[in-house]
Chains A and B, each alone.
Chain A
Amino acid sequence: MPTNNQNSRRSHGWMGIHRGHKARPMEWLAEKFIFLVSLSAILMVLLIFLFVAREALPVFFGQTNTALVQKPIPPEDLEKHSAAELQAYLELTPEQYAKISKAGLRDLMSVKVDAQNDIPEDFRNDPDAQINTTEWQYMIKPHQWNGYAKPEYIWQPVGQVKKFNLIPLFIGTLKTTLIGLFFAVPLAVGAAIYVSQLARPRTREIVKPVIEMLSGIPSVVVGFFALIVMATVLQSVLRYETRLNAFVAGIALGFAVIPVIFSIAEDALTSVPRSYSQAALALGASRWQTAWQVVLPAALPGVFAATVLGFGRAIGETMIVLMVCSASVVSWNVFDSARSITTTIAAEMAEAVNGGPHYRILFMLGALLFAATFISNLIGDFVIHRFKQKLEGKR
């Protein structure tokens, strides 16, 4: 091979290599661009929390007042109050507030004064009329409303006096979620043990994707199935009164949660080093004894994390419970209907006035839900992280 060709192609000899990064601006640009795009994930999480919480802040800080009988702010006193106070008082969103002129604000305020004057005398003396139902004490503690025999937790955002107690929703969520978990965890963990430790490898290859297929069924379909088929079947078997209740919803919820718990638990069990189980088997333990006494304890953090993540998934599930249960009943009886946080948001948002207290409370529920799943995901991921580290690093 003649050397002339070689040298003519590299006319600078080795000098050409002295160009450094400056020769490749496209590379540098592309790298920065890729980095910026990846930051979008962080941006999205922040935006979600920000914009959901934003709508809820007035309620959270006690700036709304739903008392029917209030001391109205006279229009003359417009200047004495901050923008935030006026927005809460007039039930306006920040965008609406920005568009209205001062004269328009004054008009709205005089409307409010008139409305106050229009309240009939007998109702004025009703104790309920004086209450700001969006204060925290009414949202959390039971209260004896006019017409009820004893203090109750009531969520009833329609009617003259709107009652916004959150406890029934929490109870509803807990009822369905706990039933779902009680049903799903033993099944999913049991199946995970079977598939990863006891079954033949070929069985594992078939069963694992099949169970994961269960997660491919949309929750609407599961809810539909529960509504039409399961509710009837369970009622004829267990013979309770209400056909559509928290029990049915909980079982259906379990269907949706099983694949989540299964795949994480199975993953954790398979991550336990083969050497552990082989040592046990070599000492004469049966497959079950090995699984139960050696592998499962080693994989316990992973199984725990699976349950936590399943819990997070269950409290966030909407459509299934929405299709099965509709009434909001406060009781610990699993055979009564129930309303969860998610179904309440889904069902009532359409009727809530944009910017009003109901609307804001629904957003607040959403923010609380986000915080709850955020925390449970953090715990679950953290436990799995430590678990995997233990298997690799500190072994």
Chain B
Amino acid sequence: METTSSPVYQPTSAPLSSRRHFRADKFDFWSFFFSGLTGLATLLIVGILVVILANIVYNGWRGFSWHFVSTIPKKDFFDINTTGVLPMIVGTAFRVVVMTIFVIPVGVITAIYLTEYAANNSIITRIIRAAVNNLAGVPSIVFGLFGLGFFINFVGKNMDYVLHNTSAVWGQPALIWSALTLAVMTMPVVIVATEESLKAIPPGLREASLALGATKLETILKIVLPQALPGIMTGGILAISRASGEVAPILFTGVAYYMASLPTHLSDQFMDLGYHVFVLSTQSPNIQQTQPILYATVLVLLLLTFALNIVAVLIRARVRKKLRSMH
């Protein structure tokens, strides 16, 4: 006996495509056009980067020399052959080092709290994260105002009062205040980089350590942190790179156009590469004469910040590759 049942799918409409081959019929113009357009956008962006870098390297190379980098200029900044940027480099380096001393411990400890200790949904965790995110978005000039209003006018002036200083020592623009302001500004960079490296460590390692009878602190200090060290370094380098290039936060908190000697104390003012470029390019009387000096100074600044950035990116890429092989 036949057991045919009527099929469920009974097509009544015609097939959509009558062709038998797989080649394209017509050229899909709009797809090609828009794909090309977005590709062009990408190319343009990369092109901008290349043009800026090339222009600076090309024009700055001539003035760049060992003499340039190691000379303390006399008051005249305008002769390419006798001027130098050593005080600016020292000023930048000094304030960045002081900043690092403050920002790395605080940033790393905060990141450790957020990844290892904090309950994920508690109110306090969310507030801390929101605070870090907001810190990252504050305009750099507001940091400058903060440095002026808090560090100089409040902390510094009170320090002078407590120490019975007759004239203002701490209650005025100084290297320490610039460094602290920059530390507050770059903290999110360190926190994000550290958190990223902590999260990348497989949880199995922590479990293994705890199962052997280690405490949480021991696990963090002996297993987790050593693994996260490259990531922390990346964060530090990115923070340094950012701090070396920022001018707005130091405008009111410690930078000077000309200092007769190199900065030695935390209460000294200092010269800075970026600030020098700014002042020279907007206020110099003879732009033709100062242009090669400017380019050379910008080249030095770029080498400092950009090179640091690349080093950080390279470290990060290498660490990612190594961790991927561990999973």
Contacts and interface: CB of A to CB of B under 8 A. Distances in A.
Quick check: do A and B touch in the complex, using CB within 8 A? yes
A361 B45 CA distance: 38
Given A54-B149, A317-B139, A44 B215 contact: no
Given A312-B137, A323-B278, A37 B106 contact: yes
Contacts of B157: 95
B30 A288 contact: yes
Interface in A196-218: 198-199, 207, 209-214, 216-218
Contact of A218 (B114, B150, B274, B310): B274
Nearest to A380: B137
A88 interface: no
B142 A209 contact: no
Interface string A368-379: 011001101110
Given A30-B217, A42-B128, A318-B248, A207 B42 contact: yes
Most B C-beta atoms less than 10 A away, residue of A42, A374, A378: A42
Contacts of A5: none
Interface in B271-327: 274, 277-278, 281-282, 291, 294, 298, 301-302, 305-306, 309-310, 313, 317
B133 A377 contact: yes
A242 interface: no
A389 B251 CA distance: 41
Interface stretch (A73-81, A139-147, A150-158, A182-190): A182-190
Nearest to B53: A217
Nearest to B306: A216
B184 interface: yes
A166 interface: no
Majority DSSP secondary structure for residues of A touching B: helix
Nearest to A43: B131
A55 B130 CA distance: 25
Contacts of A40: 106, 110
A230 to B, nearest CB: 9
Contacts of A376: 137
A315 interface: yes
Given A221-B52, A346-B248, A51 B150 contact: yes
Given A42-B128, A187-B45, A216-B241, A51 B137 contact: no
Nearest to B151: A51
Contact of A366 (B145, B217, B274, B281): B145
Majority DSSP secondary structure for residues of B touching A: helix
B137 A38 contact: no
Q: How large is the interface on A (under 10, 10 to 19, 20 to 34, 35 or more residues)?
A: 35 or more
B70 interface: no
Given A47-B150, A54-B149, A225-B52, A218 B246 contact: yes
A217 B282 contact: no
Nearest to B116: A34
Most B C-beta atoms less than 10 A away, residue of A41, A195, A199, A209: A41
A342 interface: yes
Given A220-B301, A224-B277, A286 B38 contact: no
A186 B34 CA distance: 12
B49 A213 contact: yes
B319 to A, nearest CB: 14
Given A51-B149, A187-B41, A198-B35, A346 B251 contact: yes
Interface in B173-214: 184, 187, 191
Interface string B34-66: 110111111011101100100110000000000
A333 interface: no
A190 B41 contact: yes
A345 interface: yes
B282 to A, nearest CB: 6
A337 B113 CA distance: 48
A224 B42 contact: no
B139 A315 contact: yes
A271 interface: no
Contact of A34 (B109, B246, B294): B109
A24 B215 CA distance: 9
A250 to B, nearest CB: 14
Given A207-B46, A214-B48, A363-B145, 9 more contacts: A38-B110, A38-B118, A95-B157, A194-B42, A211-B49, A319-B247, A345-B141, A370-B139, A374-B138
27 contacts: A34-B117, A37-B106, A44-B187, A47-B146, A95-B157, A188-B41, A190-B42, A194-B42, A209-B317, A212-B313, A218-B247, A218-B301, A221-B52, A224-B281, A255-B52, A287-B31, A288-B28, A288-B34, A315-B139, A317-B139, A323-B278, A345-B144, A346-B251, A349-B251, A363-B149, A373-B138, A381-B130
Interface of A: 24, 26-27, 30-31, 34-35, 37-42, 44-45, 47-48, 51-52, 54-55, 93, 95, 186-188, 190-191, 193-195, 198-199, 207, 209-214, 216-225, 227-229, 255, 258, 262, 286-289, 292, 309, 312-313, 315-319, 322-323, 326, 342, 345-346, 349-350, 362-363, 366, 369-370, 373-374, 376-378, 381
Interface of B: 28, 30-32, 34-35, 37-42, 44-46, 48-49, 52, 55-56, 105-106, 109-110, 112-114, 117-118, 127-128, 130-146, 148-150, 153-154, 157, 184, 187, 191, 215-217, 241, 244-248, 251-252, 274, 277-278, 281-282, 291, 294, 298, 301-302, 305-306, 309-310, 313, 317
